[in-house]
């Protein structure tokens, strides 16, 4: 959030209370993907910021790493996002890291995991302790936005349980294979999904407010 706050401060200096934090976040997400070699898309602007915040509501909208395919499909479907959208958005795990506590059960207890991959992860994620130890969500190209996340899944190298369920004999298998085979297909689906997600019940017009500081509502 420090990056977003810095952007907001600079924007406010030249264009006071005009550009919302919601729009800044949407543009920053797009530009971060592009900076790492991923696709670009047109970000629709005009969102306004909420006058309230709920940690509980936010967490309820985020899938935990223990979710299975049906849970994921339902959660995304409740936001009018399709299975293709869900699989494409999961591809954002081509970058980033996860703490050991979120994948420990997978590397010690699950069977649909590459044994060499699991063994390598156990070195920094013991069965007891090391909860905050980190591992890349995409071990192949952790610093590039590409489609290797899906080729990892096809080799049973998904870090989280909620990653590998996308390729485990279920209804998402064909989509994963399509994205693994064609970066262009993945990029197209990802940009569509990002636009769809960005259009989930935005506040516009006179709704909400334009926050002066992104971390708090206006006084």
Nearest of 134, 83, 140 to residue 114 by alpha carbon: 140
Reading the block at residue 189, the tokens are 């689906």
Annotated binding-site residue? 191: no
With both helix axes pointing from N to C terminus, report the angle between 2-14 and 21-35 in degrees, rounded to the nearest 10: 120
Confidence of residue 1 (pLDDT cuts 50, 70, 90): confident
Listed in order, the ranges of the chain carrying CATH 1.10.520.10 are 1-50+203-219
DSSP string, 137-194: S-SSSTTS-SSHHHHHHHTT--SSHHHHGGGSSSTTHHHHHHHHH-HHHHHHHHHHHH
pTM: 0.94
Confidence of residue 213 (pLDDT cuts 50, 70, 90): very high
Annotated binding-site residue? 161: no
With both helix axes pointing from N to C terminus, report the angle between 100-109 and 115-122 in degrees, rounded to the nearest 10: 130
- The predicted-structure confidence for 4-19, as pLDDT tens digits, reads as follows 999 999 999 999 999 9
Please, are residues 22 and 47 in contact by the beta-carbon 8 Å criterion? yes
Listed in order, the ranges of the chain carrying CATH 1.10.420.10 are 82-196
Q: Is the pLDDT of residue 2 over 90?
A: no
- The predicted-structure confidence for 165-198, as pLDDT tens digits, reads as follows 999 999 999 999 999 999 999 999 999 999 999 9
- The predicted-structure confidence for 43-100, as pLDDT tens digits, reads as follows 999 999 999 988 898 899 999 999 999 999 999 999 999 999 999 999 999 999 999 9
Please give the pLDDT value at position 54. Answer: 87
CATH fold of 82-196 reads Peroxidase; domain 2 (1.10.420)
Annotated binding-site residue? 141: yes
- CATH architecture of the domain covering 1-50+203-219: Orthogonal Bundle (1.10)
- Percentage helix, strand, coil for the chain under 3-state DSSP, each rounded to 5: 50, 5, 45
Question: What is the distance between the alpha carbons of residues 162 and 219, in angstroms, rounded to a whole number?
Answer: 40
- The predicted-structure confidence for 116-164, as pLDDT tens digits, reads as follows 999 999 999 999 999 999 999 999 999 999 999 999 999 999 999 999 9
Contacts 24+ apart (CB under 8 A), 16-24: 17/210, 17/212, 18/210, 19/210, 20/47, 20/48, 20/49, 20/208, 20/210, 20/211, 21/49, 21/211, 21/214, 22/47, 22/48, 22/49, 22/202, 22/203, 23/47, 24/214
**120: enclosing H helix or E strand:** helix 115-122
Annotated binding-site residue? 146: yes
Three-point CA angle 169, 174, 176, nearest 5°: 90
Question: What is the distance between the alpha carbons of residues 11 and 4, in angstroms, rounded to a whole number?
Answer: 10
Annotated binding-site residue? 93: yes
């Amino acid at each position: 959030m420090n990056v977003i706050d810095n952007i907001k401060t600079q924007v406010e200096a030249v264009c006071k209370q005009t550009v919302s934090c919601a729009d800044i976040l949407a543009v920053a997400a797009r530009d971060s993907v592009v900076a790492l070699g991923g696709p670009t898309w047109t970000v629709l602007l005009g969102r306004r910021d909420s006058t309230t915040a709920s940690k509980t509501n936010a967490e309820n909208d985020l899938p935990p790493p223990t979710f299975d395919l049906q849970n994921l499909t339902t959660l995304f479907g409740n936001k009018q996002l399709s299975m293709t959208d869900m699989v494409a958005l999961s591809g954002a795990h081509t970058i980033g890291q996860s703490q050991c506590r979120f994948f420990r059960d997978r590397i010690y207890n699950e069977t649909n995991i590459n044994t060499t991959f699991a063994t390598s992860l156990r070195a920094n994620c013991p069965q007891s302790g090391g909860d905050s130890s980190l591992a890349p969500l995409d071990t192949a190209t952790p610093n590039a936005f590409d489609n290797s996340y899906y080729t990892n899944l096809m080799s049973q190298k998904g870090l989280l349980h909620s990653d590998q369920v996308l390729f485990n004999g279920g209804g998402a298998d064909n989509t994963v294979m399509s994205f693994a085979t064609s970066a262009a297909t993945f990029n197209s689906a990802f940009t569509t999904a990002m636009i769809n997600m960005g259009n989930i019940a935005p506040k516009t017009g006179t709704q909400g407010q334009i926050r002066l500081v992104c971390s708090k509502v206006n006084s």
